[in-house]
A = this chain, B = another copy of it.
Amino acid sequence: MQGAQQPAASPSRALAGGLSPAHDAAGDARALRRQIRAGRLTGQTSGLAPGCLQANLAILPAAWAGDFLLFCTRNPKPCPLLGVSDAGDPMLARLGADIDIRTDVPAYRVFRDGEHVDTVTDITRLWRDDLVTFAIGCSFSFDDALQRAGIPVPNVVAGTNVPMYVTGIETAGAGPFGGPLVVSMRSFRPADAIRAIVLSDRYPLAHGAPVHIGDPGAIGIRNIAEPEFGDPPVLHPDEICVFWACGVTPQLAIGRARPDFAITHDPGHMLITDLPADLKT
């Protein structure tokens, strides 16, 4: 067991191409957030900071936060909560010591009365003392685990955003929040689909195991070639579609509830946290 006695960050381990130890992964996350904060990284975050949990974002006035918290609690597959801020506090220290939610996400969507009215890369000027931030787990966190297991994730391979679809499955409502479940889709050959299901189950805060496999129509998806969010998929005839609950679901719930003001991430453009991707609670 000589390997176990080596310091985690020893050159030999790094040279051997092994997994980065956790504090190195968090170092990647911090470096990426600095780039994002400086406005030098505004693209989607799939494949970045492997080993770190990424997060969907919903920011709501305190008057709406209680019902939204209940919505997340009742819908843990699309809305696994990583953290909730105090009202007016833009810092999310539990997710990363330096995280300032006003600057550390590559792109944001601004909603007024439930309508998406603007997309911006900084919300400092929009910040209010009554805003509550919800950080919600993201399926990007297991893409790296799949790739490392030799399971090609089509959109990661292609360097595109994952396709996301509005389904006919209704979420469990809470106060004014409700609406359809949104899913992300990755296609695999059947044997890889089985392994992807088993592996993703180990990432409960990244939506865990899928919610559906096979026929898109069975969950109300009309046209697999035309996702409502993200990029269109490239499908091969020997592949099976695998659908995971998606953290874009809250954006539709916000559209349903029509709060006077809300901010979310732009789909695919996530908050990169320091938390390990396989965190269980």
Q: Mark interface residues in A177-194 (1 if CB within 8 Å of B CB, else 0).
A: 000000000000011011
> What is the total number of residues of chain A having a CB less than 8 Å from a CB of chain B?
18
Q: Mark interface residues in A184-223 (1 if CB within 8 Å of B CB, else 0).
A: 0000001101110110010000000111111100100000
A278 CB, min distance to chain B CBs, angstroms: 15
Complex-state Cα separation, A197 to B198, whole angstroms: 7
* Residue in contact with A214 in the complex, picked from B198, B211, B218, B240, CB distance below 8 Å: B240
Complex-state Cα separation, A214 to B192, whole angstroms: 12
- Is A118's CB within 8 Å of the partner chain B? no
- Which residues does chain B contribute within 8 Å of A218, judged by CB atoms? 190, 238
Complex-state Cα separation, A197 to B211, whole angstroms: 12
Is A191 a contact of B211 with CB atoms below 8 Å?
yes
The closest CB in chain B to the CB of A239 belongs to B214
Is B214 a contact of A194 with CB atoms below 8 Å?
no
* Residue in contact with A198 in the complex, picked from B198, B212, B240, CB distance below 8 Å: B198
- Which residues does chain B contribute within 8 Å of A191, judged by CB atoms? 211-212
Is B238 a contact of A213 with CB atoms below 8 Å?
no
- Which residues does chain B contribute within 8 Å of A209, judged by CB atoms? 194-195, 197-198
Q: Could you show 21 A-B contacts with beta carbons less than 8 Å apart?
A: A190-B212, A190-B213, A190-B214, A190-B218, A191-B211, A191-B212, A193-B213, A194-B197, A194-B211, A194-B213, A197-B198, A197-B209, A198-B198, A198-B201, A198-B209, A201-B201, A213-B213, A213-B214, A214-B214, A214-B240, A218-B238
Residues of A within 8 A of B (CB): 190-191, 193-195, 197-198, 201, 209-215, 218, 238, 240
